[in-house]
Amino acid sequence: MTQLERDEMINNCVTLNSKSKGGSNSDIVSQRGIRGLMDRYVLNVEEDEAKFFFENGIAYNITNSPSFINMCRSIGSDMCGLKPPTAYELRTSILKAKEANMQAIVAEVKKTWAQTGVSIMLDGWKDMGGRQLIHFLVNNLHGTIFLKSIDANDVVKDVTLLFKLLDEVVEEVGENIVVQVVTDNESN
């Protein structure tokens, strides 16, 4: 980043003092649209913060912790004073934006299914409570999509029920594009 770009970013900086109480960076950006370098910077920071929370299963209310807020201030002390996301922002607008982005990625992968064909993959395992679970995934060279997960305590004991369940999944995905079915071979 050049000194001129840095100066422009600092001059356009959205600071904690310039916002009304209860406001957020995303509110300001959405009101005026993404216009410049600072707006893109704010959105990138918010995306990185959201990924951190979502990938690690961290509770949203951690954002209310004074030590979390101090940590964010310390990290950003050489830049403008960006406000960390609130628990409300994480569970509403930021989560919805991430979900929409993920749905778009899934839709793009699904568009390729008819051209390349797919593999249905079943992954069976037991949770800590001893319940038998089966995950259904759809895979091709463009990506793997999680389809669903079921409690399979009754299904694994009855081959007819297991076949019926698998047949429903193949129908849902499309019989004409399923190339193979891959299962684990664990004996239960």
Task: Report pLDDT for 16.
Answer: 35
Res. 10: pLDDT tops 50:
no
Domain ranges for the chain, please list them. 3-104, 112-183
Task: Report pLDDT for 14.
Answer: 38
Q: What are phi and psi of 125, to 5 degrees?
A: -160, 170
Residues 115, 145: Cα–Cα separation, whole Å: 16
Mean pLDDT of 78-95: 77
Residues 8, 36: Cα–Cα separation, whole Å: 9
pTM (predicted TM-score): 0.60
- Residue range 87-137, pLDDT digits in tens: 898 889 989 998 999 999 999 999 999 999 999 999 988 888 888 899 999
